[in-house]
Amino acid sequence: MALASGAEGSEGAIRAAAVAGRRRSEAIWLGRLLFGAFLLAVWQVAADRWADPFWTSSPALIADRLVVWLADGQIFRHTAATLSSFLTGFFGGAVTGVMLAVAALRLPRLFDALQPYISAIYSLPKVALAPLFILWFGIGLESKIALVWFITIFVVFWNGLAGLRSINRELVNSVRVMGASQWQLFTKIELPGSVSWVLTGMKIAMPLALHGAIAAEIFGSNRGLGYLIAYSGGDLDTTGIMTVLVVLIVVTAILSAGLNGLQRAFDRWR
């Protein structure tokens, strides 16, 4: 009877903690929504009474423009073009960064010799490379994919290498003594041990890579959200620019949520 009572008490405590956590999460989200609504209300009032909407636009004007762009479908076309180049370059760069991190761990002397050059290339301003990539690959998707790939590689590489180096070397040596192949070592020990580091690097690289894709589209493109910003800027259309920025905020939030979900899934697998 005492054991049963103890088990029921433990289950009740777990349920109470879950309910408390859910209520806290709901309160946080409610606070976020209220604060966002407050900022939009202040912005709208300021645009109506004190500021010139030509310079600041307003939530009402942005909503009207978004409805127009949704109705004619152009916002979907430009968003799809940006996401196509971003996702291809981003995940390609992440895979390449992990492969290079594994190679650096396997070949430490070669990595030590090349490290100053890798650091020098990594320190280059990525946005400044956009015109060069456009010259090399043209104004199509290829230049955007290449720039996003280049930006993503280095962030994932350094984080992945730090994760691989954090793995207990005694565990790695024990697996090698038991006859594990390089592939088994990677899939059973190194990948599970470094996946959190890699995903952290991907979360850091994601906004940087998206900025690179947008910058490349602004410099030279005939489609994409960056092209839409450049087109609106050329027409002195503040509302158009602001509308694209709102779309970018939503896209970034969705991508961040996707990476967080991916990290939770990998944590359970690990």
* Dist CA 228 CA 230 (whole Å): 5
- Per-residue confidence at 3, pLDDT binned at 50, 70, 90? very low
* Dist CA 141 CA 134 (whole Å): 10
Rounded to the nearest 5 degrees, what angle is found at the Cα of 128, between the Cα atoms of 211 and 101?
Answer: 70
Other Cβ atoms within 10 Å of 258 Cβ, number: 11
pLDDT digits (tens, 9 = 90+) for 16-33: 777 777 888 778 888 888
pLDDT digits (tens, 9 = 90+) for 64-112: 888 988 888 888 999 999 999 999 999 999 999 999 998 888 888 888 8
Residue 78 exposed, middle or buried by CB count within 10 Å (0-12, 13-18, 19+): buried
For the chain, the structural domain boundaries read 1-51, 54-269
* Dist CA 96 CA 184 (whole Å): 19
- Confidence check: pLDDT of 269 > 70: no
Structure confidence at residue 94 (pLDDT): 92
Q: Is residue 143 within 8 Å of residue 87, measured between CB atoms? A: no
What does the radius of gyration of the chain's CA atoms come to, in whole angstroms?
Answer: 24
- Confidence check: pLDDT of 174 > 80: no
pTM: 0.79
Homologous superfamily of 54-269 in CATH?
A: MetI-like (1.10.3720.10)
Other Cβ atoms within 10 Å of 252 Cβ, number: 14
* Dist CA 155 CA 103 (whole Å): 16
